[in-house]
């Protein structure tokens, strides 16, 4: 059920935590009212095929930050990506929304002021330092250990200083759970650029890391830690990238995993580390590098500036070899992913003549008709992964094994915002019922 908060702007200098403290009692009453009015209503039937098919389409989760419509695409608290781009605050000289504003929106349903996002930038910069033992843990990882494995390892280790774990151990009242969950979540988001930057510099550079600048926004600091901070376009790309990758309702693997683990009252660090392990899978967060490799392999085989016929021939050869066309199709969407469109518009503005971008545009024109003809997809349109790798490569970030780490930094915004609300609303331990194949046969045989 899609629902948004009232759009009344928050007080001018009010902190995010103070605003949450105001909203939570009202939301608790709203949830009580919804359950009283609709608690016995059915979401609809589901089938045995859905149980075997990954629970596709089964309605069984509450996720406040975003809702994904099959035909319309994603909305963050009711706002489309273009609306977020137009309404959320931007950095001076920047053209893309600040992720700080998106986080505020995910938590409150409200568009923050410029002063409020600046306050978040400063607070995250102040919280950004990671413990010495976590630095040493990352530094001791061999360069051959996948960056996502290092990322998950470091986030798990942050549990050492969890405010929620300490408060729970001390017997804090459950109505207060959200407060230390909020504090841990702020710490987590704040520390991710330092962790990601350290991994990147260790694996691909000399291991030397610049300091966080308290006067820069979150994306600018992340770009600087990765070594790309001098490029204003790359910094703006990071703002767009984090915003559009932050949340995609609750049913995807990384979001659902964070919610599931958090329902056991695991702290935000443990919950998000579990999300990262799901995101690392090739059917989820690794998909963007799979797309880039496929596109680069195509270019190497058919040459630069190849005709539409040559591109179509290569696509057909991919399908006939039993492989999928990476970056096309989606479990829910039945249209071009708005996140793809946002990245395409960025590319048209900043790199319209880039050969790899031109090839991606050519593929966009050709692939849907082929997939429809082949009967290979209910949705033949591109998803977010079909574009992001090309943009990162253009600006020099060609380290494909690192792409999912950037996705992970982004996805933290959605996972922890929901986790805070889970604690505020007293959401229970998640425990669906399962059946064996033999039990299903017994259930339906003779009926």
Query: Is there a catalytic annotation at residue 330?
Result: yes
- The answer to whether residue 100 is domain-embedded is no
Q: Residue 384 belongs to a domain with what CATH number?
A: 1.10.230.10
Looking at the DSSP bridge assignments, the partners of residue 75 are: 67
Marked catalytic residue, from 284, 350, 398, 399: 284
Marked catalytic residue, from 248, 256, 259, 330: 330
Structural contact between residues 61 and 427, judged by C-beta atoms closer than 8 angstroms: no
Q: How far apart are the first and last CA of the chain?
A: 34
- The answer to whether residue 302 is domain-embedded is yes
Question: Token pair of 167, please?
Answer: 């408060």
User: Which pLDDT belongs to residue 142?
Assistant: 97
pLDDT per residue as tens digits for the range 349-368: 999 999 999 999 999 999 99
pLDDT per residue as tens digits for the range 191-240: 999 999 999 999 999 999 999 999 999 999 999 999 999 999 999 999 99
- The answer to whether residue 127 is domain-embedded is no
Alpha helices in 425-445 (DSSP H): 437-444
What is residue 382's three-state secondary structure? strand
User: Which pLDDT belongs to residue 12?
Assistant: 53
User: What is the span of the domain harbouring residue 350?
Assistant: 287-394
- The answer to whether residue 365 is domain-embedded is yes
* pLDDT beneath 70: ranges in the chain: 1-13, 376
- The answer to whether residue 436 is domain-embedded is no
- The answer to whether residue 124 is domain-embedded is no
- The answer to whether residue 95 is domain-embedded is no
Query: Is there a catalytic annotation at residue 387?
Result: no
User: Which pLDDT belongs to residue 446?
Assistant: 81
Marked catalytic residue, from 184, 247, 385, 422: 385
Q: Domains in the chain: how many in total?
A: 1
Query: Is there a catalytic annotation at residue 354?
Result: no
Looking at the DSSP bridge assignments, the partners of residue 73 are: 69
Q: What is the dihedral of CA 362, 365, 366, 367, to 10 degrees?
A: 100
Looking at the DSSP bridge assignments, the partners of residue 79 are: 76
User: Which pLDDT belongs to residue 83?
Assistant: 96
Which distant-in-sequence residues (6+ apart) come within 8 Å of 322 by Cβ? none
CA distances from residue 189 to 36, 48, 128, 133 in whole angstroms, order as listed: 36, 39, 8, 19
SS3 sequence, 235-270? Answer: HHHHHHHHHHHCCCCCCCHHHHHHHHHHCCCCCHHH
* CA 30 and chain centroid, separation: 27
- The answer to whether residue 380 is domain-embedded is yes
């Amino acid at each position: 059920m899609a629902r948004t908060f009232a759009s009344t702007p928050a007080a001018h200098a009010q902190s995010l935590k103070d605003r949450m403290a105001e909203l939570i009692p009202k939301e608790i009453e709203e949830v009580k009212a919804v359950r009283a009015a609709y608690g016995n209503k059915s979401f609809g039937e589901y089938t045995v095929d859905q149980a075997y098919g990954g629970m596709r389409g089964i309605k069984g989760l509450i996720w406040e930050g975003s809702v994904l419509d099959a035909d319309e695409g994603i909305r963050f608290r009711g706002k489309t990506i273009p609306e977020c781009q137009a309404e959320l605050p931007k950095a001076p000289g920047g053209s893309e929304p600040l992720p700080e504003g998106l986080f505020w929106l995910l938590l409150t349903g409200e568009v923050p002021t410029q002063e409020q996002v600046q306050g978040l930038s400063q607070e995250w910069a102040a919280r950004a330092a990671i413990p010495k033992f976590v630095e040493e843990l990352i530094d001791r990882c061999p360069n051959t250990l996948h960056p996502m494995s290092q990322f998950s390892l470091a986030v798990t280790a942050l549990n050492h200083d969890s405010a929620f774990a300490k408060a729970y151990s001390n017997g804090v009242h459950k109505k207060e759970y959200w407060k230390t969950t909020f504090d841990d979540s702020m710490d987590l988001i704040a520390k991710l650029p330092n962790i990601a930057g350290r991994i990147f510099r260790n694996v691909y550079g000399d291991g030397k890391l610049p300091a966080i600048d308290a006067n820069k926004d979150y994306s600018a600091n992340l770009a600087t830690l990765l070594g790309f901070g001098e490029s204003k376009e790359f910094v703006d790309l990071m703002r767009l990238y984090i915003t559009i990758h932050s949340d995609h309702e609750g049913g995807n693997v990384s979001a659902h995993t964070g919610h599931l683990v958090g329902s056991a009252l695991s702290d935000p660090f443990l919950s998000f580390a579990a999300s990262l392990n799901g995101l690392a899978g090739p059917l989820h967060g690794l998909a963007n590098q799979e797309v880039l490799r496929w596109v680069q392999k195509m270019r190497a085989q058919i040459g630069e500036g190849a005709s539409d016929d040559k591109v179509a021939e290569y696509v057909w050869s991919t399908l006939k070899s039993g492989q999928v066309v990476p970056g096309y199709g989606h479990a829910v969407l039945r249209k071009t992913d708005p996140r793809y469109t946002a990245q395409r518009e960025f590319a048209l503005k900043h790199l319209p003549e880039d050969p790899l971008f031109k090839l991606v545009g050519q593929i966009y024109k050709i692939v849907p008709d082929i997939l429809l003809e082949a009967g290979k997809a209910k949705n033949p349109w591109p998803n977010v992964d079909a574009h992001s790798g090309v943009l990162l490569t253009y600006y020099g970030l060609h380290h494909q094994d690192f792409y999912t780490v950037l996705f992970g930094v982004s996805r933290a915004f959605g996972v922890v915002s929901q986790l805070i609300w889970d604690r505020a609303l007293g959401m229970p331990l998640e425990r669906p019922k399962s059946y064996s194949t033999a039990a299903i046969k017994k259930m339906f045989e003779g009926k």
